[in-house]
Amino acid sequence: MKATVRAPGTCGELVQGTVAGDNFHVTCPINCYSYVTVELTTELERSVCNCTLEKTIKAVETTLDYLGKHNLEASIEVDSNLISEKGMASSTADITAAILATTVALGKKITSDEIAKLALSIEPTDGLFYDGIVLFDHVKGTRYRYLGEVVEMDILMLDLGGKVDTLSFNKRGDLDRLNQRNEPKTNQALELAVKGIKQQKPELIGEAATLSSQSNQKILAKPHFNKLLQLTELDGVWGINVAHSGTLTGILYDAQEIAVKDLRLKVKQRVGSLSSYNVQFINGGLEVIDSSFNQERKYLYG
């Protein structure tokens, strides 16, 4: 009983904040992935993971309990190119992929809402495991809305340095007050993002992301932000987004209008050398890897 699932990481979020006090974010999945293999057995005394990722182990154990398989343990392998504690949703990718891999290994099915419930029992969770682009309450799961399919867009993802622990961030005593203060601008950003995704207009998505990133400066300020904000004046740059509880900033751009090498040069001229990664904005969703045919296919769960 064995299965491998891949989950996309993220470049932060397009929009994040609160609506009427409820947390939400609009997902920003990218073409960087975590691959999680779960092999179930009765021969181990406890579940183990090659990367000793306790949250991923807990995800498998929680899923086994949920499905009533208390006699099984798991050997878990995680192969990820996501950087942790930066805002790439690496923990969510590992956890949700592990939940689905465990389910598939058992020959069972599970809905995306069930995955959300199990993942949220472990930690705040990105909505990257839902298909398409979605609005999702990453803390309690009380809000979910499918917004549409991806708009073709490249992102130059910048690592501004440092790390942020998601659990600690979401326990901040001033977070609710700061989010509430930001709600007028956050709501405006959300309206633009919803319209941009529906109408397939990247310029509106970029405007939405920029508004949300500006608001987030009052909560988790990014170094060099104002200098990076100037890049939105360039032809072909639609906006900037951030990891609202991380250290990443993304420059949303049209690769047909501006070359990534030129964009990197503009960044260097303004803020110096930074680690950067050219990625693509993609639809969210988990995928099962069918090794018998050596190809990847979408798992139609639920």
| DSSP calls for 78-110 | EEE-PPTTTTS-HHHHHHHHHHHHHHHHTT---
**Whole-number pLDDT of residue 60:** 97
User: Rounded distance, CA 62 to CA 99, Å?
Assistant: 8
142 neighbors 74 (Cβ within 8 angstroms)? no
Asked whether the predicted pLDDT for residue 291 surpasses 60, the reply is no
User: Rounded distance, CA 39 to CA 60, Å?
Assistant: 10
Residue 125 Cα to chain centre, angstroms: 8
Q: Tell me: domain 2-146+283-298, CATH 3.30.70.250, correct?
A: no
Amino acid at 199: Q
CATH 3.30.70.890 boundaries in the chain: 150-280
Q: What is the pLDDT of residues 121-163, one digit of tens each?
A: 999 999 999 999 999 999 999 999 999 999 999 999 999 988 9
Task: Say how many C-beta atoms besides its own lie within 10 A of residue 192's C-beta.
Answer: 24
3-state SS assignment for residue 264: helix
Q: Which of 52-61, 243-252, 291-300 has the lowest mean pLDDT?
A: 291-300
Task: Single out the residue of 187, 193, 220 nearest to residue 209, CA to CA.
Answer: 193
Asked whether the predicted pLDDT for residue 301 surpasses 50, the reply is no
Asked whether the predicted pLDDT for residue 299 surpasses 70, the reply is no
Band the pLDDT of 236: cuts 50, 70, 90: very high
CATH 3.30.230.10 boundaries in the chain: 2-146+283-298
Band the pLDDT of 167: cuts 50, 70, 90: confident
User: Rounded distance, CA 91 to CA 298, Å?
Assistant: 21
Residue 101 CA: distances (Å) to CA of 4, 77, 137, 234, 269: 6, 11, 23, 43, 45
**Whole-number pLDDT of residue 45:** 86
Element (H, E) at 188: helix 175-199
75 is written with which tokens? 């050997």
Asked whether the predicted pLDDT for residue 111 surpasses 60, the reply is yes
Q: Tell me: domain 150-280, CATH 3.30.70.890, correct?
A: yes
Q: Which whole number is the average pLDDT over 29-55?
A: 93
